[in-house]
């Protein structure tokens, strides 16, 4: 399982990459392994508002539904449309398969380092 050092993480298993005044959000390697084969993702549209601590997307594996929680409040500026037809990309390349990019950032949830996150996944 990988935990890229340059990313920040949430305790709800999202990874976050900050660039200037925008953040990119995806699901971690640990999350995709826990979910199993991902077969569907319901993503927001550009222009939608997301709220820190609130779900912005549903990911579904064969067996179950899971929510993706936004670590920030802001406006969706880009969505990864490729995931709609190929949600399994999240299983294959979790750190390339970004879900949304958010701008006009407001509140932010507590983010943790790769090391802290790896520790968290070990504690189960």
Partner 1 sequence: MEQKTPLYDLHLRLSGKMVPFAGYLLPVQYATGVIAEHNAVRTACGLFDVSHMGEILFSGKDALNALQELLCNDMSAMDIGRVRYSPICNEQGGVVDDLVCCRMDENRYLLVVNAANKDKDFAWFKNYARGDVKIEDISDQYAQLALQGPKATDVLSKLIDVQKLPVKYYTFIDGLKIAGVDCLVSRTGYTGELGYELYCQPQKALQLAEALLQAGKEFGLIPCGLGARDTLRLEAGMPLYGHEMSDAITPYEAGLGLFVKMEKPYFIGKEALLTKNPPARIRIGLELIDRGIAREHNDIYKDELLIGETTSGTMAPYLSKAIAMAMVQKKYAVLGDVVDIDVRGKKLKAKIVELPFYKRAK
Binding site for partner 1 (CB under 8 A): 36-37, 39-40, 42, 58, 60-63, 65, 84, 91
Q: Rounded to the nearest whole angstrom, what is the least distance from the CB of residue 39 to partner 1 in the complex?
A: 4
Nearer to partner 1, 10 or 91 (CB): 91
**Cβ atoms within 10 A of the Cβ of 40, count?**
13
Question: Of 59 and 76, which CB lies nearer to partner 1 in the complex structure?
Answer: 59
Nearest alpha carbon to residue 121 among 15, 49, 46, 43 = 15
Tokens of 54: 């609130």
Smallest separation (angstroms) from partner 1 to the CB of 84: 8
| Three-state secondary-structure class, residue 10 | coil
**Nearest to residue 31, comparing CAs of 12, 18, 16?**
12
Q: Cβ of residue 38: shortest distance to partner 1, in angstroms?
A: 10
- Nearer Cβ to partner 1, position 70 or 91? 91
């Amino acid at each position: 399982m990988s935990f890229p050092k340059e990313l920040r993480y949430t305790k709800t298993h999202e990874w976050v990459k900050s660039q200037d005044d925008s953040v990119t959000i995806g699901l971690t390697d640990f999350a995709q392994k826990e979910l199993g084969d991902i077969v569907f993702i319901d993503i927001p549209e550009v222009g939608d508002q997301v709220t820190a601590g609130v779900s912005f997307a549903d990911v579904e594996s064969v067996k179950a539904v899971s929510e993706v929680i936004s670590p920030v409040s802001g406006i969706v500026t880009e969505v990864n449309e490729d995931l709609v037809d190929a949600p399994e990309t999240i299983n294959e390349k979790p750190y390339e398969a970004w879900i949304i990019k958010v701008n006009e950032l407001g509140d932010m949830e507590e983010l943790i380092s790769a090391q802290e996150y790896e520790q968290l996944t070990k504690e189960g």
